[in-house]
Each structure stands twice: as structure tokens, then as C-alpha cells.
Chains A and B, each alone.
Chain A
Amino acid sequence: MFDPYTESVLIFTGINIVLALGLYLPVSAGLLSLGQGGFMAIGAYTAAYLTTEMQWPFIVALLCGGAMAGLVGFVVGLPSLRIKGVYLVIMTMGFGEIVRVFFLNFEPTGAASGLGGIATHTTLPVVAMAVALTLLLCFQIRGSRIGRAIEAVREDELAAEVIGINLTYVKVAVFGLGAAIAGIGGGLYAHYATFIDPAQFGFQRSAEIFIMVVLGGMGNFVGAAIGAVVVTVLPELLRLGHAQEWRMTVFGALLVAIMIVRPWGLLGVRR
């Protein structure tokens, strides 16, 4: 249907939308994370290990990867009750580094030399399905009781607690859910890239996911999805013409320009 290049761009766009939505959820409750790359790595390694070494079916492995990342997310989310704002951003960044160093030393998954020979299970229909399900999930959450609780927590924690919202529950749940989605995104990524190593999930990856969400505008999940599309497609568009060599330079400059022109994100509204 598409030529291989277009297809790969589409698949990466889809995976990035899933990852961006995975960060959007905690962000919508005011929990910023610069460690999504870590959750992604956990999902990617778990799923890839299960399909290559254990010969588990892809879907089951993918979900296990998500569950594993979600479980770790719950644990990492617990301190977020006390640690706030920039402190939380840097703490999650530290978490991402710990995960990276862990896989760098973890022999069963190839340590520094990476895990290869992963079958290509992530096709365009699979990614499309994953994107659709994640979007549906975000849509459902927004209108639900917990969605409104999340909004209340973001706007004013104290007031939210006073009206009877269980802060611990909301924060930890939303952080864990975001981590689980990042883990599924990681599993999808692993089964498209066919080779993974810890360097692919470092700070740069976390920053990229962070950029998508803020760039799109943090007010709603459509913004996060659009941010993911921009961050994936823009560098590819810059391949056209003579800009090839300068494309990352131009991309960086465009990031600055977009934030100056739309300081609340592409879809964001001033509040």
C-alpha cells in the first residue's frame, strides 16, 4: 500500500503517538516525567525477551511488557506524592538513567551488545490498532470520574483532597498507567527495530517524548498526539531538498521557534 520508507515513517509516528499519550496521562495530573525512556526500555526488553527466548506469542509478550513497565511505574510513582515539580522531573530522569545502566549490565538481555534477532511483528495495522486503542482510552478517561479527579488534582491538589479525592490513588494509578503505555510503546518499537540496545532508551529518548507532549500543548491528549506527529515527521520532511545535512540543526531551531510562536504548545490555550 505504501512504499517502505513511508511505511516506516508511519509506524514510527504511530509508536510515538502511543509514547506521547503514555506521558500525557501523568502530565495531565501534573506529574512530569523525564524518564519515559526507562519505562519504554522495560517494556521493550521484556516483550523482546519473551518473544525471542521464550517463543511467547507477540500480543501476550507485548502486554506483559506493558504490565512490567506499569508495575515499576507504580513503585516509581509512589515518591511523586512527596516530590514535586522540577524535583520530580529530575528524579524521573535519574530513574531513566538507572534503567539504562541496569540493561547495560544485564546479561540475559545481551547487556551492552544489545538484544537482536527480534521478529518483526509490529506492522502498520498493529500500530494503527494500538494508536486507536490508546486514543480511545484517553478519551474514555477524560470523561470519566477518574478523569475529572485527575483534572482536579492538576489544578489544585489541596482542594482536590478536601473534596474527597484520594490523591495517592489518583497519582500512583495515573503514573503507573502512563508507564504501562510507555512499556507497550517500547514493545512495539522493539518488534519493529528488531534490534535494541540500552543506548536507544537514554535521556534523548525521554526528552523526545517530553518534547512531543509539551510541543503539542499539554491541555489535551489530541495535542500530545499532534506533538508526536510533528516531532516524527518534521525531521523526515527536512530530508527533502538540500537541507539534508543541516536537518537536525534546523529541527532544533524549529523547536525554539515553535515554542516562541506558540508558548503554550501547538494546541495549548493560555490559562
Chain B
Amino acid sequence: MVLIQQIVNGVMLGASYSLIAIGYTLVFGVLHLVHLAHGEVFMIGAFIGLQVVLLTGGGVTAAIAAAAVSAAVVGVLVYLAAIKPIRARKGHFLAPMISTIGAGVVLQELATRFFGGEQVGFPVQMDSQIWHLGGVTLTSVQLVILAVSLGLMLALHLFVTLTRVGMAMRATAESMVISNTLGIRSERIIILTFAIASALAGVAGVLVGMSFNSISPYMGVDMGIKGLAAMLLGGLGNVYGAMLGGLVIGIVEVISVAYLASSYRDAFAFFVIIAVLLFRPRGIFGSTDHVEA
């Protein structure tokens, strides 16, 4: 039972990693680049969510919605300012990585300027009920986190498989040239991809704020690294891999804290990644499609 409780806790933590990793992997799928300001987009989402929480006196739904919208706007702006111009000039494939690091620095600095450099609490108001399900304990905050993150993943799955726009997204990820010739406006799809990826990161920002009850302008780096790890574990460009990768990393972290050395928590996730990569050099679900990029 203790183990099951740990796994539930791990899923809770990992679901946020999954949401971030999905963003990375969506962007990678379409553009074949690692968007290194994504962690900062996540952080901005958390802070906008916090402002809404403070304004409305603890409304979770409003906070999540506001975080999603504002993060989407920020993410699209990062694309338009730091990635699109380099793509247009056919730069070196690492150039967008550097420019997104630059954009990340700008976002982090702006956040410290407007919201202060310290850790701040995340005071959501929620009637704190506790459920016991056969030895597993769940608080209402945890339940919200679980429902929102898993719900969003399901929604994304339905979106990319059932809708025309979702299919256009997959086609663009498959081959931008061919989808262009088929009449898909890939530029719009790219912007949509950034909006979705960033919105998910923004929601993850609020969820992480809720579960740890603290956010800071510097948390984007750590969560960004975890998200990258989760994406890598699943295989670059694979949405379902990113979902699973995030959950695996969350569970590994929680279990390593519970049964092994808690101070090595942040390293265990990477041990798992390196171990997986040694046997599956392109991640668990990785294909050979995006070889060098």
C-alpha cells in the first residue's frame, strides 16, 4: 500500500513534467529544435496564475485559464521574435537554441523585475477534503492536479487524432514540405503548435505552484531540465512518449526519495535517462525519423 501511495504521488509530480515535456516534443516534432525558453514560459504561466489567484482570492479555474492564455501568448511571441527570423534566414541548426536561451534570460529577468526575485507562496483556496481509497490518501488539491493534467493529455490526444487541425499538425510534423504542397498553411500550424505547447506549460506552472505552494522566477530552469529529460525518455517528437516519460521521471523521483537517498533526488531521473539511452539511443518510443537535428 505504501508503494501504491508513492506511485500515486509520483504520478502527481510526473503529470506536471509530462505537460512540460509534451510542449518540448510538439515543438521538436514540427521544427526539429529544442526550445530552451520553454521552462521560462512555464514560469511565466505560474506567475500569471498567481496574480489571478491573488486578485480573485483563490480561484483555481480562473488561474489555470489565465495561465494557459498568457503562456500561449508568451510562447508565440518567443517563436516570432527568436525562432522565426532565424528559420527564415536558414541559420545553423543550433542557432535557435542559443536565441531561445537568450529569450529565456529576458523572460527570467522580466519576471524578477515585475514579481520580485524571491520564492512566493501560492495561496489557492480550496476546501481541503481528504479521500481514502483503499489505503491511498488523496487531498482535493492533488485530485485537481491529477484531473487537470490527465484531462489535458486526453484532450490533446483527441485533438491530434480526431480534428482536421490536429491532423494538419501531425502532417506538418511528418513533413513540412509535403504538408505545404497539400495546402496546409504550415506557418499557422507552427504558431498553433507553440500556442498549445506553451498553454500546457502555463497550466503546469499553476499545478506545480499548487502542489509545492511556492514559485520563483528561477524555477523555470529546473523544471525545464526535467521536462527535457522526460521528452528524451519518450523519444523526441513523440507526444505519448513525453506523457509516459514525465510520469516515469515523477515516479522515479518520488520512489528514490522514499526508498533511497533523498538528497540525490534530482540525479536519479538522469541516471534512469542515461540507462535507457544506453539501450534505446532514441528513447523508449524513439524512431529513426529525426536523426540529426
Quick check: is B136 within 8 A (CB to CB) of the other chain?
A: no
Nearest CB of B to A126, in Å? 30
Closest chain-A Cβ to B293's Cβ sits at a distance in Å of 6
Q: Which of B102, B267, B274 contacts A101 (CB 8 A)?
A: B267
Interface of chain A residues 65 through 113 with chain B (CB within 8 A): 79, 82-87, 89-91, 93-95, 97-98, 101-102, 104-105
B274 x A93 contact (CB < 8 A)? no
Q: In this assembly, does A215 line the interface, its C-beta being within 8 Å of a C-beta of chain B?
A: yes
CB distance from A216 to the nearest CB of B (A): 11
**Cα(A260)–Cα(B82), bound, Å:** 8
Task: Give the contacts of A182-215 with B (CB-CB under 8 A).
Answer: 202-204, 207, 210-211, 214-215
Task: Please pick, from B221, B274, B290, the residue contacting A204 in the complex, using a CB distance under 8 A.
Answer: B221
- Whether a CB of chain A sits under 8 angstroms from the CB of B34 is yes
Structural contact, B228 and A252, CB atoms closer than 8 A: no
Using Cβ atoms and an 8 Å threshold, which residues of chain A touch B228? Answer: 90, 93
Q: Which residue of B lies closest to A260 (CB)?
A: B85
Of B52-60, B88-96, B183-191, the one touching chain A: B88-96
Q: A89 vs B231: C-alpha distance in the bound complex, in angstroms?
A: 13
Bound Cα distance A33, B291 (Å): 17
A259 and B291 contact, CB distance less than 8 A: no
B159 on interface, CB distance cutoff 8 Å = no
Question: Residue of B at shortest CB range from A249?
Answer: B109
Near B by CB (< 8 A), chain A positions 2-38 give 32
Contact B91 A87 (CB under 8 A): no
**Segment at the interface with A among B160-168, B174-182, B278-286:** B278-286
B291: A residues at CB distance < 8 A: 84-85
In the complex, the answer to whether B99 meets A82 with C-beta atoms within 8 Å is no
Which chain B residue has the least Cβ–Cβ distance from A253? B106
A256 within 8 A of B: yes
Question: Are the CB atoms of B102 and A32 closer together than 8 Å?
Answer: no
Chain A residues within an 8 Å CB radius of B96:
259
Interface size on A, residues (CB 8 A): 45
Smallest Cβ-Cβ distance to B84: which chain A residue = A260
Q: Is the CB of B103 within 8 A of A252?
A: yes
Residues of B within 8 A of A233 (CB): none
Using A84-B291, A87-B283 as known contacts, say yes or no to A79 and B105 having CB atoms under 8 A apart.
Answer: no
B92:A83 contact, CB within 8 angstroms: no
Interface segment, A43-51, A53-61, A262-270?
A262-270
Whole-angstrom distance from the CB of B260 to the nearest CB of chain A? 12
Assess A263 versus B109: contact at CB under 8 Å? Given A97-B225, A97-B266. no
Give the number of chain B interface residues (Cβ < 8 Å): 53
State how many angstroms separate the Cβ of B284 from the closest Cβ of chain A.
12
> A79 — which chain B residues lie within 8 A by C-beta?
274, 277-278
Q: Are B267 and A259 in contact (CB under 8 A)?
A: no
Contact A255 B105 (CB under 8 A): yes
Complex Cα distance A255/B81, Å? 12
Q: Which residues of B contact A136 (CB under 8 A)?
A: none
| Chain B nearest Cβ from A227, distance in angstroms | 10
> Which residues of chain B come closer than 8 Å to A85, judged between CB atoms?
291-293
Q: Is the CB of A83 within 8 A of B281?
A: yes
CA gap between A101 and B36 in the complex, in Å: 21
B158 within 8 A of A: no
A137 part of interface (Cβ distance < 8 Å):
no
Provide the bound-state CA to CA distance between A89 and B28, in Å: 14
The answer to whether B98 and A87 touch across the interface, beta carbons within 8 angstroms, is no
Let me know if B292 and A256 touch, CB within 8 A: no
Q: Are A83 and B95 in contact (CB under 8 A)?
A: no
Residues A86 and B278 in contact, CB atoms below 8 Å apart: no
Tell me the complex Cα distance, A83–B221, Å.
Answer: 24
Nearest CB to that of B267 among chain A residues?
Answer: A101
List 17 interface pairs A-B (beta carbons < 8 Å), by A numbering. Answer: A84-B281, A84-B291, A86-B232, A87-B232, A90-B228, A91-B277, A95-B274, A98-B270, A101-B264, A211-B98, A214-B98, A218-B92, A255-B98, A256-B106, A259-B96, A260-B86, A260-B99
Q: Can you add 13 more A-B contacts, CB < 8 Å, to A252-B105, A265-B92?
A: A84-B281, A86-B290, A87-B236, A87-B277, A89-B34, A90-B34, A101-B266, A203-B221, A210-B101, A218-B92, A251-B105, A252-B109, A259-B98
Using a CB–CB cutoff of 8 Å, the interface residues on chain A facing chain B are 32, 79, 82-87, 89-91, 93-95, 97-98, 101-102, 104-105, 202-204, 207, 210-211, 214-215, 218, 246, 248-249, 251-256, 259-260, 263-265, 268, 270
| Smallest CB-CB A-B distances: 5 pairs | A263-B91, A255-B102, A252-B105, A94-B270, A252-B106
